[in-house]
Structure 1
Amino acid sequence: MRGPGILATVLALLLVAPPALPAQAHAAPVRCAPRKGGMQVAEPWGQRRLDPKRVWPLTTGEGVTVAIIDSGVDLKHPQIHVAKSVDFTGTGHRDCVGHGTAGAGIIAARYLKGVPFHGVAPGVRLISLKQTNDESGEVDTLARAIVAAADQGADVINVSIQAQDDPKLRQAVAYAVGKDAVIVAAAGNTTAEDGTPEPAYPAAYPGVLAVGSATRDGRRADFSNTATPVAVLGPGQDITSTWPGRAYMSGLEGTSFAAPYVAGVAALVRARHPELNQERVRWRITATADGGVGAGTGAGMVNPLLAVTAILPLEAVDAPVIAPPAPAPLPADAVSKAAQVDQGAIDLAIAIALGALCAVGLVVAARVFVPMGRRRGWRPGRES
């Protein structure tokens, strides 16, 4: 009887106190109060400058998975659809900063009629990996999130975070690059208080597409880090994007908002040219940029249209072409050749025609002068 009694006791305990779930599933942030955004939004200058809609007839990024590693994403925003959300902080999926929601909107905000804001590649499959509850986070957590993004099959990984060099972070980047992910990272921001600029990681690692910040006039923003080996620039000053609370925020600045623009372009390239590996995608983006001058500008402002459509040297043209191929030439016998001119026949025809005209002339003369001769008895006319 002891066996059944023990079993009953265990069942009773399970019913009264079910097993506790992992702590991170129930933990909540100490404070979750992002700045309040607005309901009105105007078309951002960066969107006008890059004009990704010109590329949409070719691709909107469909079939490409983009991972955004940040502070989470507002899952209820009407313009953002997140296919999968992973929380590494143990504080829930809410974006308590706004940073991640803004980055997600720049990459993949869907087009809504009447709303002037949209993302660069609205057709992508977006996954969110929350690695922080503020604007920095721990390096170990960032490394874990990068590995997880690669394991989730991310084709493009956006990291709008600057950190210090760390063996775990370096290994995570190498792992993701080895799985053919394009890692796009912010080059980092510098201020007067920072002193001498230092390279930002993971942007400074080999194999990472480092993005600096550009102003409205296309020059490098003063705060954009020049110590990081920048590949290209993206709009990063006076930025407008999506925000928690189904809202929008303007006046954003930083390389962390420039990186999502380039990540969106990388997604467009991967969708249009699926045969290119991550290295060739990075090369294509830098080779088609608008050109840069000075430290920290790299190849200049990213150019979505050229990145997707340009035919570059040394690149196999196996992807879908921009225009249909030229039709094959017609066979030699498709059009009948003109017959050679028979000059003899032409001369004969002319002679016959002249003879006929002469004959007609004689007939006309006979009809006129013969009656006149008869009336006169064929006598010559009198002199007056």
Structure 2
Amino acid sequence: MLPAAVLASAGPLLAASPAAADTGLPRISTAPPQDGGCVKPSRRPPVDAPWPQQYIAPARAWDTTRGAGVTVAVVDTGVDAVHSPSLSGRVIPATAAAGTDCIGHGTFVAGLIAAAPRPGTGFAGVAPEAGIVAVRTTAPDGTATANSVAAGIDAAVARHARVIAVPIALARSSPALVAAVREAGRHGAVVIAPSYASGGTGTRSGDAPAPAAYPAALPGVLAVAALGPGGVPDQKLAPRTAPDPAAPGNAVMSVGPGGTGSFTGDGAEPATAFVAGAAALAVAAHPDLTPSQLKGALCPSEHTSTAAGLRRHERKA
């Protein structure tokens, strides 16, 4: 049985628990603050047992593995490796700049993947002993291009990441991005990306789907959709890129830059973190898994949530 299957052994789903409701936490997004500065540290402590942890129950896998020995790359805005104690000692910046995070999105995602439990709080990452390679691929305004994401994936591969989280949805691809994704697969890494942008990559007209999102639309990439509290689908736009798994993405809580406080965020971008964490648990226990085998374990059938799909896998194991 893959350890990731244990994530499906969640308790009762909470559709309207206090943790699932608006907590008043400061928000993290893919864009910088409107005042043009950096995200200010949060002074809000973590809420107990955020709803995603009750939904996918990652602690059920921790007796088997907590992701130790697996490197997960976060190709995003950087990761604050100094002021995030729950990630302390497990973040390796690919460059000096990648060890800081003005926008906060990369730190938020890294926390969902690998934040260590802290006494007195109910929050932890899915794989709390996994290592993080921080790769900054965005400009100061939070934007990225296909070529910058390609360079980020290449940097992740060069640092031997087996799981590459790219919480970025682009409207266009490029030959460099296609080649980077292909090369990642050749090196045994799986790329995980959102199947649509949280702000909407376009406005849907009638039954027209949203534009395809890259790198999610490329062959071999796990394309992730978001779920709301209780596992309710939260796609405001029907993505042309058909999602593989779906994972918690609405009213999600995690750490951020600048201190120990908590933030909240929404969308398919943070949902990629839960899938990346589950992938890290699986790879930690089964290092010989190929990207296609790992993808099959995480989404054994099309158009299913990660938790629901893993439930079926667990019953077969």
Query: Structure 1 length as normaliser, TM-score?
Result: 0.66
Q: What is the correspondence of 1:282-361 to structure 2 with a 5 Å cutoff?
A: 282-287=295-300, 298-302=303-307, 306=311, 311-312=316-317
Is residue 33 from structure 1 mapped to residue 41 from structure 2 by the alignment? no
Identity of aligned residues (%): 31
Corresponding residue for residue 161 of structure 1: 168
Find 2:250's aligned residue among 237, 240, 244.
Answer: 237
What is residue 27 of structure 1 aligned with on the other side? none
Structure 2, unaligned stretches of length 5 or more? 1-34, 205-209
Higher relative contact order (Cα pairs below 8 Å, separated by 6+ residues): 2
Alignment partner of 1:93 is 2:99? yes
Mapped to 2, the partners of 1:150 and 1:93 lie a distance apart of: 18
Give the equivalent residue in structure 2 for 1:143.
Answer: 150
Tell me how large the CA RMSD over aligned residues is: 2.4
CA distance in 2, matches of 1:243, 1:261: 16
After TM superposition, the structure 1 = structure 2 runs for residues 9-48 of structure 1, keeping only pairs within 5 Å, are 32-42=37-47, 43-48=49-54
Provide the rounded CA distance (Å) in 2 between the counterparts of 1:203 and 1:193: 13
Cα gap change, 1:120/1:146 in structure 2, threshold over 3 Å: closer, same or farther?
same
Give CA-to-partner distance per residue, 1:158-177, whole Å, 9 cap, x none.
00001112111111111111
- AA aligned to 1:302 is A
CA distance in structure 2 between the aligned counterparts of 1:62 and 1:155, rounded to whole angstroms: 12
Q: Show the counterpart of 1:210.
A: 223
Q: Is the 8 A contact 2:78 2:97 kept in 1?
A: no
Higher-Rg member (1/2): 1
Please list the CA deviations of residues 249-270 of structure 1 after superposition, one character each: whole Å capped at 9, or x if unmatched: 4441011110000000001111
Q: Assess, with a 3 A threshold, how the Cα gap between structure 1 residues 32 and 128 changes in structure 2: closer, same or farther.
A: farther
Residue 184 of structure 1 is matched in structure 2 by 192
Q: Distance in 1 between matches of 2:270 and 2:237?
A: 11
Q: 1:69 to 1:34 in 2, by over 3 A?
A: same
Give the C-alpha shift of residue 35 in structure 1. 4.2
SS of the residue corresponding to residue 191 of structure 2 reads strand
CA distance in 1, matches of 2:116, 2:309: 17
1:154-197 CA-partner distances (Å, limit 9, x unpaired): 11000000111211111111111111101111112365782241
* Distance verdict in 2 for CA 1:309–1:248, change over 3 Å: farther
Q: 2:80 aligns with which of 71, 74, 81?
A: 74
TM-superposed CA distance for 1:96, in Å, is 0.5
Query: Judging changes above 3 Å, is the alpha-carbon distance between structure 1 residues 80 and 304 closer, same or farther for their aligned structure 2 residues?
Result: farther
1:47–1:304 CA distance, 2 compared to 1 (3 A)? farther
Alpha-carbon distance between aligned partners in 2 of 1:179 and 1:59, rounded to the nearest angstrom: 23
Pairing partner for 2:69 from 60, 63, 66: 63
TM-score, normalized by length of structure 2? Answer: 0.79
